[in-house]
Chain A
Amino acid sequence: MSASLAPECNEVKERYDNCFLKWYSEKFLRGAATTDECEPLFKQYEKCLSKVLKERGIDKMVKEAREDNRENDAEHMRPKR
């Protein structure tokens, strides 16, 4: 599995990643998903990570980039078919 940018979050990230991969390949890809079953694990991972993102000021950069992109997303994030 890929590493987390915050070593202290590696363990909880790995638990979430494993859950996600199983859900993604067994449920989502088969069109059989009804809910995101890994959300509780994601919350734990997010809690760990968000602390580090804040400390390093990355959360602000991400927020700005996502705000800039909101309009673009509306236009681009759909298929061209």
Chain B
Amino acid sequence: MVKFYSSKDTYSYPFPAVTLAYFLRYPNPYSTHVLSTDTISRYFDPETQRLTTVRLHLKRSKLPSAVVKLLPRSLLGASASGESQTYILEKSVVDINEGWMDSECQNLEFTGVLSVIERQVFRRPVPHVSDEAKLFQGMEGAARRHGFLNFGGSGAGAKVGVDLNGETTDVESSVTLHSHVGETWRKKRQAAQEGTFSSSDEEQPQKMGFLRSWGTATLQRNIEKIGLTRTLRSQPNAREGMKVVLERMREGGLVGVLEGMRKDREAILQGHDLFKKNGGPHAKDD
């Protein structure tokens, strides 16, 4: 069983600005649970003008606590012993000529319990105009794109940084949740029935007592349901976070975004001190 969420949205910012905001989306005031972001590989193909990036985010909070409650600790592995952090792998490809960005995020740990794959596709909208007008608009668009960002150069637009011109970017988001809980046990049981010698049967029963009473399918369904609930809750925050970054870009260009990030990072560090002092989580989960 697989749970699926999808939505469509339009940002009132041009495509290049949205791709830049995507790379700069952490930290933002809606993502105080994101502790770090590292680029682990990057490849630029000059022929296709495509940029492929792989990044690793470290986020506070792993599985929803409701899922943790459903599962025996033995299944969660050693890192569940109080460590509430999880790694998220993000891969993205930007094609600036064709005007699209495709990104995919997935959790690296506990994928057997719940695998969450979030995909976002950003697109420069295709204008519905005649061929002649399209040619003209294409040239105009290219000129616009060439001037859209400014790095503190001279001129009136230097401070604004981003030229908006009413351009928009479409985004399609989808989240796939899939629980594989119990599947490895089933495989083991099958192997045992087929006559393969197995001594693991004796190791298993205590751990899965209540899981068995529930049944694998029910357990998977429940875990996926909890995951979906959390997705529905976190998606608006993710969108708001992007909008904050885009707004900062509109107000103060790249410098404005970096300044905002610096403040958010400070706030996160302060929040951590609070977390330690009070011994409880106060930040939003997602």
Contact = CB atoms under 8 A, between A and B. Distances in A.
Interface stretch (B1-9, B43-51, B195-203, B277-285): B43-51
Interface string A42-55: 10011001000100
A13 B36 CA distance: 11
B29 interface: no
Nearest to A64: B108
Contact of B106 (A22, A30, A65, A80): A65
A79 B95 contact: yes
A64 to B, nearest CB: 8
A74 interface: no
Nearest to B46: A34
Contacts of B37: 2-4
Contacts of A8: none
B96 A28 contact: yes
Contact of B254 (A21, A65, A80): A21
A66 B121 CA distance: 19
Contacts of B256: none
A62 B56 contact: yes
Interface in B72-118: 87, 89, 91, 93-98, 100, 102, 104, 106, 108-109, 111
A14 to B, nearest CB: 10
A45 B42 CA distance: 12
Given A22-B151, A29-B19, A36 B44 contact: yes
B49 A78 contact: no
Interface in A8-42: 9, 13, 16-17, 20-22, 24-26, 28-31, 33-36, 42
Interface residues of B, number: 53
Contact of B96 (A29, A65, A69): A29
B38 A5 contact: yes
A3 B35 contact: yes
22 contacts: A1-B265, A3-B37, A4-B37, A4-B38, A5-B35, A5-B38, A6-B38, A16-B39, A21-B23, A22-B151, A25-B16, A25-B254, A29-B145, A30-B145, A31-B49, A49-B40, A62-B108, A73-B91, A76-B119, A77-B102, A79-B123, A80-B121
Smallest CB-CB A-B distances: 6 pairs = A2-B37, A5-B36, A36-B44, A29-B16, A25-B149, A61-B108
Interface of A: 1-6, 9, 13, 16-17, 20-22, 24-26, 28-31, 33-36, 42, 45-46, 49, 53, 58, 61-62, 65-66, 69, 73, 76-81
